[in-house]
Each structure stands twice: as C-alpha cells, then as structure tokens.
Amino acid sequence: MTEARLNLIDKQIMWSRLIAVVEEQAQTLQRTAFSTIVRESGDLAAGVFDARGRMLAQAVTGTPGHINSMALAVGHVIDHYPIATMQPGDVFIHNDPWLGTGHTNDFSLTTPCFRDSELVGFLACNSHLMDIGGLRDMSSSTDVFMEGLYLPILKIVDGGVLDETLLAVIRANTRQPVETVGDVYSLMNCNDVGCTRLLEMMDEFGIDELDELADHIIDTSRDAVKAEIAKLPKGTWRSSLMVDGQSEPIELMATLTVSEGNVHVDYAGSAGMTRHNFNVPYCYTLAYTSYALGCIIARDIPNNAGSLEPRTVAAPQGSIVNAIKPAAVVARHLIGLMLPDLVFGCLRQAIPDRVPAEGSGVLWNIGASGPRSSPPRFGEEFMVGVVTTGGMGALPFRDGLSATGFPSGVRGGPIEIFESMSTVIVWRKEYRQDSCGAGRMRGGLGQHIEMENGIDEPFFFNCAFERMKFAPRGFDEGLNGAAGYVGLKSGGKLPGKGRHLVPAGERVVIMSPGGGGIGDPRQRDRESVEADLRNGLVSAQAAHEVYGLERKPSDASRTEPLREYQHG
C-alpha cells in the first residue's frame, strides 16, 4: 500500500496520465487491427479499471456503444473468475451480447494487471470483428445462435500460456480465419501495452496501488455530474419516436425524470421484442442512454464509473430495448442508435436551448460481397464493409454536422480502402443536395453514393438502414431532414434491410438521411443561405422557395450562379 496520501496535484496529474495510457492502448488496437471498421473507422473501446473493476478512464478513441458497455465488462469477468483465482499472464475473452457490447461481432478482452505479484487493476478493450460465421444477411437471423460464434467468458491465456484449442475454435468458425485471429492478437496486444504504461506511471509516482487515485477520480466525477444535474429544472418529461422496423414500424417511448442528483430514463411503453434481429440487450440500451445524457449535461466531465453513476436507466424485460436471450441481436444498433434522439425529445422540453433536432441516427454501413474474378473461381471472393453516415440534427445555436456518425462516434471509412479490397467501384460519393432540414439553423446533409461491380459479375449489397420511412424531425418551425433511399440506378426502390443482388453492369444508389432543422428557415442568416447555395449544399429552388432568397428582377432568366440572388 502507498504509505503517504497523495496531494491533489499528484492525483490530477495521474488522472491525466491514465487518460493518456488508455488512449495509447486504443491507438495500438487501431493500428494493429485487421478489421477495416476498427482500423479505418475506430469502432472500438479501451479502458483502465481499478482492482475492484471500476472504470477509471476510457480512451477518447472509440464509440459509446463499446465504451459504455465496456464499463460493466470487468465486473462480469470478476463474477465468473474471482480475483483470488487470477494470476499474472491471464487474459479473458468473450462476445456474449448480454455481457459485452450487444452483439456477437464485438469481442471483449480483459487483462488483469499485476505489480510485484499484486493485482493493481485491469485493462479492457473490445472491437468489431468483420466475420465470425453465422448468416451473411444482417436482416434474416431469428435468434442469437444464427449470428455466429458465441463465446462465454473464457480464459484465452492462462498464466502466459495461450489456449491453442480455443484459438482453433475461433479460427474454424469464420470465413476470414487470418483476419479474425489477427484481431484477437491485436486485442491482447493493446491490453499488454496499456498494462505496461500503467505500471510505468505507478513506478514514476511511487505508488503501489490505485485505490486512493481511483476514489478521487470516481468521487470527483460523480460530484461534478450531480452539480450539473442540480442546475436542471426538476420534473418529468415524455417523448416517443417511430422507426422503420422491418415487417412493421416500431414505436419507442421514454420518460425522463430529473430529481436531486439523478437523471433517470424509463423506456416503459416501448415495443416488445421482435422476431427480427434488431432487439437490443440492456447493456447497449444503457450505453447509448448514458451517452445521450452525457452529451447534454456532462459533456466536459471525463467518462468513468463515477460520472456514469447518476445516470440511471430502466427498461421492461422482454421489450425491444431489454431483449432476453436468445433473441436475435446482431443489428441492435438499428434501435440503439435511435435512443439518443428519443432522450433528446424529453430533454428538449426541459432545456430546449441545448438539444439538437433529430438526425440520421443509424449508420448507413455498406457491405458488399462477391467473386473476385469473371468467371467466378471457387474460394476466391471478397467480403468488405465501409462505414457511411448521414446528417446530424441542427442545434439551436449552430448547423448540424454533415455526413457524420453522430451519435455513434464511428468515422466514415475511406472508399479507397473499400475498393482496394473488392472489385466494386464507387462512381459517386458526395453530399446529398437539399437533404438538410431547413431552418434558422439547418440540419446536416446526408450523402449520395453510387456503386457497381468492376467486373462482369453480379455482387451482393448488404444493408441495414433506418430513417427511410420516418425522416428526422425538425423543431420550432424547422423542417424535417430528407428520408433515406436505396434503389437501383435503372429504377426500383430496394428495402432498407436485406441482402440484395445487384446485376452485372447495374449501379446501386444509396442516399442517406439529412438532419432536421431548428427555427423558421426564413430567419436564417442571409450570408449562410448564400454560402450554402454557393457550395451546392442547397439548390437554387430551395434557396428561393424555402429560405426566401429572392432573385434580382434583371437576372430572372438566369439560373446560376449565386450573384443572381439578393437579400429577401
């Protein structure tokens, strides 16, 4: 144990160092990952925990669904493997959706960190693996057992000795054995780097354990969030949200209550579990609800066990936001990523000056697969994915971000990487003009993408999209953003969920949604309207009819460029 108590400056410096430790841990994972969604888009989480399993710091690199689910992961490991049974060199692995990040494609690894044979803490991480077997169509599974390899909490390294049998099981249950095993090694390696840096920090500051530092971090963060909650109006507010679903629309409902030192969200009234695979385990519901609350009331406070504590969540067991095993959950993000807009719907009634309009929410990830040659040869095929995004809703004080992953935090992936790993050619990828919801502050724009196979063969296009039937809503006279669209260039709309065969020589067209606007569009600053028009974000027609930017009479016959318009 550390003999002398740490002073406040030491604690603050070490707190910052912990954040640096886990950021290096995350960057190590991102640099060494085989999975493109991790390497290029940052779909991961990394964190350090004390010896009791409380999260002390999480990397800035990462996504809320991974980070806030990971906050509970070490506690689950301790429940299955008591601390007294752990030894240096142990590593634990699992992808249980109900104990991890909500679906089986995300592997979670936990490494106990020892100093002089004494356990001082844990390093944990998780990331998305591209293929773990199961169905290729993300819309057709009806239970979790159809969704690929399912690992309970297991010890993959025992006292420094790798379990080759377990690794062989993982390798045998994927279409991409090299990449999948490589990702497992990447996850183990990033925890090793984190542990090394943690021990270096402890040596530098001469401490033998993290208990005093951990209490400072958690208590300070909890108090800071409670102080922010104390500034909010007290009361209860309700909101609802319709999402496309698959065979029928899904209604989500939330009740948010602000009391002294606590914000509580209850999802009673939301739809029940569905036979489709966008049911949400409670851990993922908790993750995105906590994130939504954090964005509005605790955005400057570091994320850890203390700052998460005053944000509580309830969801009826058996509802779509608290699914029961063995529900199909592989596409849990289709509902989970909509929860922030639902929470914002409650907060908008209490603190409207801080809350955005609705945005695209769900990522518009593009998956493609097919042969690498024409005619096709056995065993030669590609299977790739790239993250694409839509528009964020406007805020009362600024425009929404365009083509951004909010609220997921995942970055859009480079098309060049997508093309280099497949035969697909992306012919068009640009902002979708007029997709932003007009307003005093407009929403962000979605994207217009077109792609086809570069060889004379069909290919499969996989999609699991939302906001095609129910567009992101604007508020306070702001207009809705554009709804999403998927179809073939030759004509014909495609369902937003499923695995579609794109004929040779045909292009598939993807238009992601735009964010909703806030305020009367005709009150928008004229220079901002002109800039949007000049940059091609809004059309001349929209500038005139929606925003009220008038043509000069002398130039009435002209259609371009911007100089044709004057202030209305």
What are 367-377's pLDDT values in tens digits? 899 999 999 98
pLDDT at residue 568 tops 80: no
Residue 493: Cβ within 10 Å count: 11
Amino acid at 26: A
Per-residue pLDDT at 559 exceeds 60: no
C-alpha 313/C-alpha 256 separation (Å) is: 9
Q: Residue 30: which of 215, 266, 189, 164 has the closest Cα? A: 189
What is the spatial distance between Cα 518 and Cα 443, in angstroms, rounded to a whole number? 8
Q: How far apart are CA 51 and CA 421, in angstroms?
A: 42
Closest to 123 measured CA to CA, from 59, 215, 34: 59
User: How far is the C-alpha of 277 from the C-alpha of 181, rounded, in Å?
Assistant: 26
pLDDT band at residue 36 using 50, 70 and 90 as cut-offs: confident
- Place 563 in a pLDDT band, splitting at 50, 70 and 90: very low
What's the confidence (pLDDT) of residue 558? 35
- pLDDT, residue 564, reads 31
* 3-state secondary structure at position 36: helix
Dihedrals φ, ψ of 406, to 5°?
Answer: -60, 135
244-251 contacts at long range (C-beta below 8 A, 24 or more positions apart)? 244/465, 244/466, 244/467, 244/468, 244/469, 244/470, 244/496, 245/274, 245/276, 245/278, 246/139, 246/274, 246/276, 246/278, 246/497, 247/276, 249/469, 249/470, 250/274, 250/320, 250/335
What is the pLDDT, as a whole number, of residue 317?
Answer: 98
pLDDT recorded at residue 383: 83
pLDDT band per the 50, 70, 90 thresholds, residue 552: very low
Q: Is the pLDDT of residue 514 over 50?
A: yes
Q: Residue 39 above 80 pLDDT?
A: yes
d(CA 242, CA 284): 19
- N- to C-terminal Cα distance for the chain? 72
pLDDT number for residue 138: 64
Mean pLDDT of 111-131: 96
560 pLDDT higher than 50:
no
CB 363 within 8 Å of CB 407: no
The yes-or-no verdict on residue 398 having pLDDT over 80 is: yes
Q: Is the pLDDT of residue 487 over 60?
A: yes
Give residue 161's Cα distance to chain centre.
34
Instruction: Give, to the nearest 10 degrees, the angle between helix 282-297 and helix 211-230.
Output: 70
Residue 206: the pLDDT is: 94
**177-205 and 164-172 helices cross at what angle (nearest 10)?**
140
What's the pLDDT at 566?
30
Residues in Cβ contact with 504 at an 8 Å cutoff, skipping those fewer than 6 apart: 453, 455, 456, 457, 458
CA-only gyration radius of the chain, Å? 25
Give CA angle at 226 (301, 123), nearest 5°. Answer: 45
- Which are the contacts of 405, defined by CB distance < 8 A and separation ≥ 6? 41, 363, 387, 389, 411, 412
Give the residue-averaged pLDDT of 311-333.
97
pLDDT above 70: residue 164: yes
Amino acid 4: pLDDT: 53
**Whole-prediction pTM value?**
0.94
Please, what is the average pLDDT of the chain? 93
Residue range 194-229, pLDDT digits in tens: 999 999 999 999 999 999 999 999 999 999 999 999
Helix (H) or strand (E) holding 216: helix 211-230
Q: With 70 as the cut, is the pLDDT of residue 2 above it?
A: no
Phi, psi dihedral angles at 37 (to 5 degrees): -70, -20
Distance CA 541, CA 80 (A): 62
